[in-house]
Copies of this chain bind each other. A is one copy, B any other.
Amino acid sequence: MLAITILYPRTADSTFDMDYYTATHMPMFAEGLGESCQGWGAASVADGPYMAMGWAMVDSRENFDAAMAEHGAAVMGDVPNYTNVMPELLVGEVAGGS
């Protein structure tokens, strides 16, 4: 299982439209992942170097890579619709949990 985490850096003039992110962008991302998406979420972060984050659980790296090859350009093309910063992507291999 992959834990995909997307971090949005806080800068002096950074902006983030959380309504658009949760209502439009993340559902688009999840739809691109299709049945391989095992859940997603989004959160605002009040303090520190990041202002917002998103995440999605994906059943395998193969399915994630295939979905990004097909839908990645459209997903990335939507980023300027909700923020003026570049997201940082963490592709985590889940090692444990409860």
Chain A: residues with CB nearer than 8 A to chain B? 2-3, 5, 7, 18, 21-23, 26-27, 30, 39-50, 52-53, 55, 88-98
Contact across chains for B90 and A42 when beta carbons are under 8 A apart: no
Collect the chain B residues with CB atoms within 8 Å of residue A93's CB: 43-46
Contact across chains for B94 and A43 when beta carbons are under 8 A apart: yes
Collect the chain B residues with CB atoms within 8 Å of residue A49's CB: 88
In the complex with contacts A3-B41, A43-B92, A53-B92, A98-B27 CB distance below 8 A? yes
CA distance A52 to B41 in the complex (A): 19
A53 to chain B, nearest CB (A): 6
Residue from B5, B41, B45 within 8 A of A96 (CB atoms): B41
